Amino acid sequence: MVTRRGFLGTGAAAAASGLVGVAAGAGATNASASQNLETFVAKRELSFHGEHQMGIEADLQAVTNFIALDIKPGTNKASMLRFMSLITDDIQRLTRGEPVLADPAPELAIGAARFSAYVGFGPSLFSKLGLQAMQPEGFHELPAFKVDKLQEQFSGGDVLIHVAADDPIVLAHGTRGLVRDSMPFASVRYVQSGFAHTPGMVPAGITHRNLMGQVDGTANPKFGTKDFDSVVWIDEGPTWIQGGTLLTFRRIAMQLDTWDQLGTPSKEEVIGRKLSNGAPLTGDNESDTPDLAARHPNGLTVIPDFAHIRRAAPAKDGERIFRRPFSYDAGISSSGSVDVGLLWTAYQRNMDEQFIPIQKRLDELDLLNSWTVPIGSAEFAVAGGVESGEVIAEALFS
């Protein structure tokens, strides 16, 4: 006979058992979610195949290397095609978090971590291989600018492999594999390393801040839009460049010792934007269009004539670029001075119509030049994308 006390006791025990089961299930779910969260960076992949090379129309990764190479004497079109075949295979594997062929350290291939790499070619490569007729329109060495203090160790290059990832081990391992497979064909001219925010620090799409505290990249064309396509991607000319773009790469040193002595209002006038949120001095939000005609009651322009955004503003339609800047930190001297700046990239269809007119205005009158000095410069034509079974820049070297 089941008594009331016995029934209640049995019910309570059953309920308790059920709660234990629920708790155990919840614990397992939480443990799984925690494990997934711990390794979410490793599992994130970018697509390698497509109309465009990867790593341009993408949010900034945490760390990057710009690897510039000079081809060795005797390297010709046929050997360049073999070179690109190796690099194409390497990049495909690394984007999946896999080791490259004959990898001496396959245990370091621990995940994709949004690894990306694209390949571009400098004007010097076309001269060395007699391929000047294959150069895209508006692509050549940049003219000299008076603000430049260029150093050979940060400038030029026949071939660029720009590598980026969200993990420094993944980046280092991928860089080593790509460099190792490049050695039969070329020598390293320089490797310039940079960084941005790590995953989870800011939401995707938030504009990067450089080490001067500025929001850097405002008014960029938006990914996946016709506007982005019209600014960045080339759709005419030699077959190999269609779907590609032209890269202007500048290493810009920042003079933070004197910049840090300025107050916030002075810094904002130099840029023409508020440091707090990147809004123009005539607006409230970063996306607000600067009112270059606005004046104070005393008649002075709200955005000064020397302000960076005024000098960089398009003078005519089409005079725009897509910027993708990484920061660099090369250390601190014994006196406490810092060696920091930007690895600044601009992507465009035609340098003569986009970057160069803008830079000429900045060269003439931009107060920001007092705290930023270009010490490295290079130009690269980035080949179009590849589909399965194709090789990067195959049409250029076939």
Domain boundaries, the chain: 45-397
- Nearest C-alpha neighbor of 119 from the set 250, 252, 236, 247: 247
Q: 313-368: per-residue pLDDT in tens? A: 999 989 999 999 999 999 999 999 999 999 999 999 999 999 999 999 999 999 99
**pLDDT tens digits for the chain (398 residues)?**
444 344 334 444 444 455 455 555 656 566 565 657 788 999 999 999 999 999 999 999 999 999 999 999 999 999 999 999 999 999 999 999 999 999 999 999 999 999 999 999 999 999 999 999 999 999 999 999 999 999 999 999 999 999 999 999 999 999 999 999 999 999 999 999 999 999 888 887 778 899 999 999 999 999 999 999 999 999 999 999 999 999 999 999 999 999 999 999 999 999 999 999 999 999 999 999 999 999 999 999 999 999 999 999 999 989 999 999 999 999 999 999 999 999 999 999 999 999 999 999 999 999 999 999 999 999 999 999 999 999 999 999 99
Q: 34-54: per-residue pLDDT in tens? A: 657 788 999 999 999 999 999
Length of the chain: 398
Query: Which residues does residue 322 pair with via DSSP β-bridges, in sequence order?
Result: 347
Query: Which residues does residue 190 pair with via DSSP β-bridges, in sequence order?
Result: 68
Q: Are 326 and 64 in contact (CB under 8 A)?
A: yes
Q: How far apart are CA 96 and CA 112, in angstroms?
A: 5
Q: How far apart are CA 343 and CA 340, in angstroms?
A: 10
Contacts with 110 (C-beta within 8 Å, 6 or more apart), sequence order: 42, 97, 169, 170
- What pLDDT score was predicted for residue 1? 47
| Helix 77-95 × helix 168-182 angle, to 10° | 160
- Does this model's pTM top 0.95? My answer is no
- What pLDDT score was predicted for residue 203? 81
* Three-state DSSP string of the chain: CCCHHHHHHHHHHHHHHHHHHHHHHHHHHHHHHHHHHHCHHHHCCCCCCCCCCCCCCCCCCCEEEEEEEEECCCCCHHHHHHHHHHHHHHHHHHHCCCCCCCCCCHHHCCCCCCCEEEEEECHHHHHHHCCHHHCCCCCCCCCCCCCCCCCHHHCCCCEEEEEEECCHHHHHHHHHHHHHHHCCCEEEEEEEEEECCCCCCCCCCCCCECCCCCECCCCCCCCCCHHHHHHHCCCCCCHHHCCCEEEEEEEEEECHHHHCCCCHHHHHHHHCECCCCCCECCCCCCCCCCCCCCECCCCCECCCCCCHHHHHCCCCCCCCCEECCEEEEEEECCCCCEEEEEEEEEEECCCCCCHHHHHHHHHHCCHHHHCEEEEEEEEEEECCCCCCCCCCCHHHHC
Contacts with 275 (C-beta within 8 Å, 6 or more apart), sequence order: 213, 214, 215, 264, 267, 268
- What pLDDT score was predicted for residue 8? 38
- What pLDDT score was predicted for residue 225? 98
- What pLDDT score was predicted for residue 21? 55
- What pLDDT score was predicted for residue 33? 56
Token pair belonging to 10 = 């049995």
- What pLDDT score was predicted for residue 204? 76
Q: How far apart are CA 214 and CA 269, in angstroms?
A: 12
